[in-house]
Amino acid sequence: MGERVSDGRTTVERKSDRELVVTRVFDGPVRLVFDAWTKAELFQLWWAPKSSGVPMLACEMDARTGGGYSVTFGKDAENAMTFYGKYLEVTPPSRLVWTNDESEQGAITTVTFEEEEGDRTLLVLQELYPSKEALDESFVGMEDAMPEQFRQLDELLAARAASAA
């Protein structure tokens, strides 16, 4: 464990078997950053960046302790997927905790917002999964859905490298 990747701005670290931590500093005061995470009209501007090619179709947030959220992504309504859960804690403007209920192996996500010098915000996001396997496989679906031809091409390239060896 303990793998860590940083580009000097965003750092992603696997802190333990079940825990992934992402940190980033934003050039804006805590209250604005917190709003961007808790107001649906702002949240949908950035959570699914344009480069992803998968737009957010709907976003509802009742960002209060005990409130719920639901976020739907997809190219169109037929190929959409909804992510949903409950806010376990909402303490403006410093702390957010939510569940990810679309999967039984979903993490508990905790986001903290901390004032930094110069009107900046240190954001720490922690995902705590129910088990090591749940974190390992938190990208399941990706590999399963990866187009078959890509896998075949990968095998082809691997075979070429092996035959060259």
Helix (H) or strand (E) holding 96: strand 95-99
Smallest separation (angstroms) from another protein to the CB of 72: 10
Q: Least separation, in Å, of the C-beta of 8 and another protein?
A: 10
Q: Which two tokens stand for residue 73?
A: 């992504």
What are the helix and strand counts (H, E) for the chain? 5, 9
Q: Does 22 bind another protein (CB under 8 A)?
A: yes
Report if residue 45 touches another protein, rule: CB under 8 A: yes
Binding status of residue 159 toward another protein by CB under 8 A: no
Residue 164 interacting with another protein (CB under 8 A) = yes
- Interface with another protein (CB under 8 A), residue total 67
Choose among 48, 50, 90: nearest CA to 59: 48
Q: How far apart are the first and last CA of the chain?
A: 31
- Is the distance from CB of 109 to CB of 123 less than 8 angstroms? no
Q: Which of 16, 47, 114, 122 binds another protein (CB under 8 A)?
A: 47
Q: How far is Cα 108 from Cα 93, in angstroms, rounded to an integer?
A: 19
Closest CA to 83 of 106, 63, 67: 106
Using CB under 8 A as the binding rule, the residues of this chain from 91 to 130 that contact another protein are: 98, 100, 102-103, 106-107, 109, 125, 127
Footprint on this chain of another protein (rule: CB under 8 A): 3-7, 9-10, 12-14, 20, 22, 24, 26-28, 32-33, 35-36, 42, 45-54, 69, 71, 73-74, 81, 83-85, 98, 100, 102-103, 106-107, 109, 125, 127, 136, 138-142, 145-147, 150, 153-154, 157-158, 160-161, 163-165
